[in-house]
Amino acid sequence: MNKVARLSALVTGASVLAIAVTQSALSGEDSELVVEDVKFVTKTEAPADHPLDEIISGWRFRSDETQALQMDDFDNPAFTSVDYGEELWETAEGTSGKSCASCHGDASESMKGVRASMPKWHEGKETLMTLENHINWSRQEHQGADPWKWESPEMLAMTAYIGVQSRGMPVEVAVDGNAEDWFKKGEELYYTRVGQLDMSCSNCHEDNYGNMIRADHLSQGQINGFPTYRLKWQGVGSIHRRFKGCMKNIRAVPFKPGSDEFKALELYLAWRGQGLSVETPSVRQ
């Protein structure tokens, strides 16, 4: 749906949607939430080989107001990035004079499910690639265009636009074959204590999720909603920006966005959230 059509539909139904979400889904314990005919799984039983008993979206750890903000496309502040991404999708760039749409056509069809499967092994480049990597590879390979910086408005907009095409679809990443070593590296990083506070990802997001740390309600650290609009940032940010922030919080020297370390960690975390729905673009505190 283009942004004009979406705006018209949302202006008509925004108030009804906000009331429905607040009164029913937010206060209940249901594992599924249906909004605008899209079903979101926000809690699911973990498989036998999983370190957790149940897998819970970060959406469930947020305030009622933040939850409602995410689920209303008219109010969700991240949709300015989605709209910009839609414009970029149609814009010709580079020496080829082609746009993304020139090759991929309607994103709602060609990009459906892409976000849900990322990151994944790329046969041509023979490495694990995130959605950002795929976008820049396509820009250089097919458009003859310069790559975007990881946290640029353009990259965030395109990842948000591609991501929204998978909303409601279950996260499902491949961690076998060529991706297996990356998965194991990500798992190792997740449990390794680092920084002056001598903490690992698991200390907060596995051992203490559900507890409060200062004014924040600790979640499981699921990444099914990225790129996300954080109220703290007053803007949209990538998964790797969040990783970097977490490492700074425990007084560790962070890896660089796009580094092999963060790509491996992203794969492992995506696996930890398998079965949850893609919520892009989410809203978090």
Residues involved in catalysis: 246
**CA atoms in the 13 A half-sphere facing the CB of 276:** 27
Measured between alpha carbons, how far is 152 from 266 in angstroms, rounded to an integer? 19
